Amino acid sequence: MSDISASTRKFQKELNSGTSSLVLLSVLNRSPEPMYGYQIAKMLEESGPDIPMMKQGTLYPVLRSLEENSLLESTVEPSVSGPPRRYYKITEDGRAALIEWLELWKQTKKFVDAILKG
């Protein structure tokens, strides 16, 4: 039984790694204002409380990776209630990537759904 749960965890991790970037770009594309990590995490949690797709611990490395690839940019601003916060917003390159990734997602979903349905 432990082999099944270990392989399931591995599959979930691999599945999440690609979709996390797509989800974060989409969230920041729809947001009228820059958002900070905890704010994004809470919004995702509220959107799918019964579907723990992205834990806070995995959120920040994905945000940093997207920024390193010029798909997001960030600024650090002081916070009245604690340490400074890093606010993220999508770049023009990020918007272009999002359009391409959404098309790839649709194609992948269509293919997987067709195979699973037989």
**Residue 50: band (very low, low, confident or very high) from pLDDT cuts 50, 70, 90:** low
Give the per-residue pLDDT at 101: 96
Domains of the chain, start order: 2-117 (1.10.10.10)
What average pLDDT does range 67-72 have in this prediction?
98
In whole angstroms, what is the distance from residue 77 CA to residue 86 CA? 6
**Residue 4: band (very low, low, confident or very high) from pLDDT cuts 50, 70, 90:** confident
Packing angle, helices 37-47 and 56-68, rounded to 10: 120
Give the per-residue pLDDT at 2: 53
Give the per-residue pLDDT at 52: 62
* Token pair listed for 88: 């993220």
**Residue 49: band (very low, low, confident or very high) from pLDDT cuts 50, 70, 90:** low
Average pLDDT of the chain to the nearest whole number: 90
Q: How far apart are the first and last CA of the chain?
A: 28
